[in-house]
Structure 1
Amino acid sequence: MTSQADPRSGAATDVTGDRVTLTYQVSGMTCGHCEGAVSEEISAIGGVASVKAVAATGQVTVVSDAALDDEAVRAAVDEAGYEFAGRV
């Protein structure tokens, strides 16, 4: 696995083989239902292999085939009813 810094945000992007792992901060999640709603919406983005949302930290880890467009993730989080706060 290698880590690369995104020049726009300074956030780290982990690359393992052909997969990219990104972590995002999401505000407003308080329970398992929230985690599921956010995960479901982000999972619908093309190329997403897995999503793990943790309400206690507000962090959402996404594994995908390629780096995701932050605006697509923001739109998915908005659709779920939560606030996208950016990459970690």
Structure 2
Amino acid sequence: MAVNIKPLADRVLVEPQAAETKTASGIIIPETAKEKPQRGKVVAVGKGKKDHEMTVKEGDIVLYGKYAGTELKHDGEDYLIMREDDILAIV
């Protein structure tokens, strides 16, 4: 799947992974109680800034803050666009 969105500078385009529907013990989580996903796949990466080279690359699975980034819908898919600084870890 190719996305024709190219982030600028230190921005990263992330496709959030689906929220958990079941707990480890098998309890089904209702829609109203689901947490916002905090894990996703990097779809596109900007070129970075003059004094900051990008650490993440396309295809990385990353963890980010619950309220990080700006939600964006493109071709029926949900994405987040955020600064690389908002990413907490690469999994």
> Is the TM-score greater than 0.5?
no
> Normalising to structure 1: TM-score of the pair?
0.29
Identify, as 1 or 2, the structure richer in strand: 1
> Normalising to structure 2: TM-score of the pair?
0.29
Question: Rg bigger for which structure?
Answer: 2
Identify, as 1 or 2, the structure richer in helix: 1
